[in-house]
Structure 1
Amino acid sequence: MRVIIAPDSFKGTITAAAAAAAIATGWHDVRPEDDLLRIPMADGGEGTLAAVESAVPGAERVSVEVLGPATGANPQASTHLADWLRLPARDGYGPVGVIELAAASGIEHLSSLAPLTAHTYGFGQLIHHALKSGISRILLAIGSSASTDGGTGALKALGARFIDRNANLLPLGGGFLPDLEFVDFRDLLSPPPGGAVVLSDVTNPLLGPQGAACIFGPQKGADDQEISHLEKGLETLASKIGKDPNFPGAGAAGGTGYGLARWGAEIRPGAAEIADIIGLTNAVKDAHLIITGEGRFDNQSRQGKVTGYVAGLAAQAQIPVALVAGAIEGKTSDYTCPTSLSQLAQSIQAAKNNPQRWLEEAGRILASQWAPSNQTQCGDFD
C-alpha cells in the first residue's frame, strides 16, 4: 500500500517535516512493507519555506539582515538574519524566489506584542533582496504577521514613501496610518517579469467587522480602542491608494495582502500553490491513503487550511484521507480515522510536551486499524 503523509506544522510544537517523520515511524512499526511518501505541507503560513525546501531539489537559502518587526519610530532598531529561498528555473520561469513574512516580520520575533508600532519593513527587505538578485518570479507567504500596517512597511522597503500632512515621512507601524496624507510610488520597484503571487489561507477583506483590524488585531495585542485606531488607519490608506479594499484576502497579514495587491501581486490560496510546487498534486494519483494533520482542527480548517485542502485533493482522487490533530474541535465527516493527540495523551498540554511521541503513536494506531475494507472502524477518536 502507498501512503502519503502530508501534514501542516503543529504550530508552536513541531514542524511539518518532523510531524510527517513521526507519523511515518509509527506506521512503519506496524506495517513495514508499505510505501510511505512524506510530503510536509504548508499554506502560506509559518513553515512554508521549510516545506518547499525539503521537496524541491536545488533549493538554496539566502540569508539577509533585516529590521525587526517592532521598531516603530526607533531608527536604532535591532536587526536579525532572515532567509528567503531561491528555486532553480522551472515551468518556463527563471529562478523563483519564495519569501516567508514570518521569517522577517513574524509575531514570533516580538518580545512583547506591539499592535500600533509593529510593521512589515523586514519582509520588504527580503523581497527587495530577492528582486535585486535577478529572480523571474516571486512567491510570498504572508502568515504569522506581527502587524496591522496594510503592508506599508514592506512597500516602504521597496521604495514607496508615505507622507503626513506636514510633508514628513510616516514612521513605521499601522498606528501612524491615520495621519497619512500622500503616497508616493514613483520609486517603487516593480514585481519580477514572471509576476508575484501571495500565498494566503485568509479571505477577509481589508475593512469592516471581518477586516484585518477587527478580526486579527486582537491576536496582535490590540484592545478595542487600538482596533478602532488601526481600522481608521487602514481606511485612510485605502482612500489614498484608491484600490477597492473589499476583495478576498485584502485583510490577510494585517492588510499586507492589500498592500501587495496594490503593488501588483496576485493573491491565491496558499495550500494549492504549495501542493503544486512540492509535487503533492501529482503524487496522490498513485496513493491508497493520505494522512494529513495540524495542531488544532476546527471548523475553519476546511477554509483554505492544509487539512481542508488535502481532503479536497483526496476526494478528487477518490482515495480516503485520515486526520491527525493536536486537538479536534470541528466536524470530521470528510476524514477517516480522525485521531486526536490530546485524547491519546489525555490532555492538550501532555500532547504539546511530547508531540513526537504522540504522533508516532497516532501512526501506529492508524496503521493497525486502517484497511481499505474497514475505513470507518478506526476507533473512537472523533
Structure 2
Amino acid sequence: MTDPAAGDPIGPTAGRGRPLRVAFVPDRIGGLSAAEAGTALATGWRSRRPDDELVVVPFGASGAGLLDAYAALAQAPVSVASAVPSPAVDPVSTESTLLLEVAGPETLLVGVDAAPRAALPGADPSRDASSWAWGEAIARALTGRTDVRHLVVDLAGGGARDGGAGLLGALGATADVPLDRGIAGLTGITALDLTAPRDALAGIEQLVAVVPADQADRPLFGLRGIASLHGVALREQGLPWDPADLLAADATLQRLAGLASPGRADAAGLGACGGVAYALAALGASVSTGPAWLAELTGLEETLAAADVVVTGSGAYDFAHRGGETVETVVGLAGRAMRPVIAVAGYVTISSREMRAYGLDAAYAVHAGVPGETVSVDRADLEEMGRRVARTWAGG
C-alpha cells in the first residue's frame, strides 16, 4: 500500500529507517479497558521503536466499554448510584439497577445498568416494563449542574418497549394515562405534555442518544418496528403471542408519537432500545452509535489520516462480529484515508484472506482460542503483542 500524500510505501517493514506515526484505537481487550489496552500496546511498540510518534485513543461501543473509554478521554471517574424506581412499577430489583455517569468538560455521559425483570414461566415481562430509570438517570445527573452543554445518553441494555414514555415521565412529562407502566399502561393515550422535560433540558446545546449499531436504523412502528420484532422474539422463545395485542401495541406507539413529535416518528433509529431513542429525539436528540459519537468527539478521522499505521483491537475477531462496532468504525475511517489497519484480539478465528476482505491488513491473536471461550489477557500480554506488531509490521 502507498501513502498518497508522502509517496512512501506503507506495509510490513515499511518503517525501517524513518519514524512512523502510529494510532492505537482499541476497544476493551480481555479484562483491560480500552485505555489500558491501548497504553499496553503502545508501551510494547515503543520498546521496539522509541522514535515513533504514538497516540492512544480509547474507544467503546456502548455500556461499560463506552463509559470507560469516555472516562479515560475526559480524565473523569465513572460515578455509580442506585436507581429509585417509579412507585407504580414493580421494580426489577433496586439493588441491581444502577445509574452511571461520567462528567467531562461540558459533556455529560449517562447510562443505566439494569437487571432484567423477573417473570413467571411462560409470561412476557416486557408489557409493563418501563424506561423510567433512564429518565431518572438524566434528572439526577443534571441536578445542581449548570455547566453541561452536551448530554449523551447511552441506551444500551434498555428492555422496555414503551417508546420512552417512562423516561419522559421521570423528567416530569404528564399524560392522561400513566407513563410509568410500560406499553400496557399507554393504552388509550390522547394527551401528552412535554413542557417539564423540555424545560429540564433547556440549557443543553447538544443531546445525543447512543444506541447499538444493529439498532441504529430500527423504526418505531410498522413491519420492522418494536411491536413486530417483539412478536418475532416471542415466537423464537416459544412464548405465547397474540397478533391483536401486537397490533394494539403498534397503534399505541403511533398515538404516542403523534402526540410527542408529529411528523418525525418514522425516521430510522427511533425504534432503538424499545423506542427510548424516540423519546429523546422528541426532546431534540440525534441518534448515534457509541463509536460514531466518540469519533466525532475526538476528531478521530483527522487523527487516522495523519497516521502511518492504525492499530485497533477487541476481545475477539470472528465471523459473527468481526471485532465489533469499534473495529468496524476504525476500519471504515482508516479506509477513507487509505491507511493500513492492524487488529489485536484475544483470539482470531478468521483467515488472512477473509480479514482483508473486511478492510484489515493483519490481525494478531493474543492466545489461541475458539468462539465462546473466555480468553484471559493481561497487560504483559498486550505489551508483548505491541513489540511483536512493531517488529513484524514496522521492522522494529
TM-score scaled to structure 2, two decimals?
Answer: 0.72
Name the residue aligned to 1:375. Answer: none
1:248 CA drift (Å): 1.4
CA distance in 1, matches of 2:188, 2:170: 17
CA distance in 1, matches of 2:140, 2:338: 43
**Residues 241-287 of structure 1: CA deviation (Å, up to 9, x unaligned):** 31444311112112111121122212234323212323534432432
CA contact (8 A) 2:130 2:182 kept: yes
1:124 CA drift (Å): 0.8
**Residues 25-47 of structure 1: CA deviation (Å, up to 9, x unaligned):** 55456555544422111244442
CA contact (8 A) 1:261 1:267 kept: yes
1:320 CA drift (Å): 1.0
Structure possessing the higher radius of gyration over alpha carbons: 2
**SS class of match (2:26):** coil
**Residues 209-260 of structure 1: CA deviation (Å, up to 9, x unaligned):** 53345557849x9765459656742441222331444311112112111121
Number of equivalences: 350
CA contact (8 A) 1:337 1:370 kept: no
Pairing partner for 1:40 from 53, 58, 65 = 58
1:121 CA drift (Å): 1.4
1:354 CA drift (Å): 0.4
- What are the residue-to-residue correspondences of 1:187-198 with 2, within 5 Å? 187-190=195-198, 191-193=201-203, 194-198=205-209
CA distance in 1, matches of 2:197, 2:39: 41
CA distance in 2, matches of 1:218, 1:300: 20
Which deviates more, 48-57 or 24-33? 24-33
CA change 1:340–1:161 in 2 (3 A) is farther
Name the residue aligned to 1:277. Answer: 297
Name the residue aligned to 1:377. Answer: none
CA distance in 1, matches of 2:317, 2:298: 23
CA change 1:339–1:259 in 2 (3 A) is same
CA contact (8 A) 2:169 2:179 kept: no
Which amino acid is 2:174 matched to? R
**SS class of match (1:6):** strand
CA distance in 2, matches of 1:231, 1:16: 43
Name the residue aligned to 1:154. Answer: 167
CA distance in 2, matches of 1:337, 1:75: 47
Which amino acid is 1:272 matched to? A
CA contact (8 A) 1:213 1:254 kept: no
CA distance in 2, matches of 1:291, 1:139: 27
TM-score scaled to structure 1, two decimals?
Answer: 0.75
**SS class of match (2:38):** helix
Q: Does 1:337 align with 2:362?
A: yes
Q: Which residues of structure 2 form unaligned runs of 5+? A: 1-19, 120-124
Structure with more relative contact order (C-alpha pairs < 8 Å, separation 6 or more) = 2
Name the residue aligned to 2:90. Answer: 74
CA distance in 2, matches of 1:112, 1:238: 28
CA contact (8 A) 1:177 1:236 kept: no
CA distance in 2, matches of 1:368, 1:300: 30
C-alpha RMSD of the superposition:
3.8
Name the residue aligned to 2:8. Answer: none
Q: Does 1:181 align with 2:189?
A: yes
Which amino acid is 1:236 matched to? T
Identity of aligned residues (%): 26
Q: Which residues of structure 1 form unaligned runs of 5+? A: 89-94, 373-382
Pairing partner for 1:4 from 1, 14, 23 = 23
Name the residue aligned to 2:330. Answer: 310
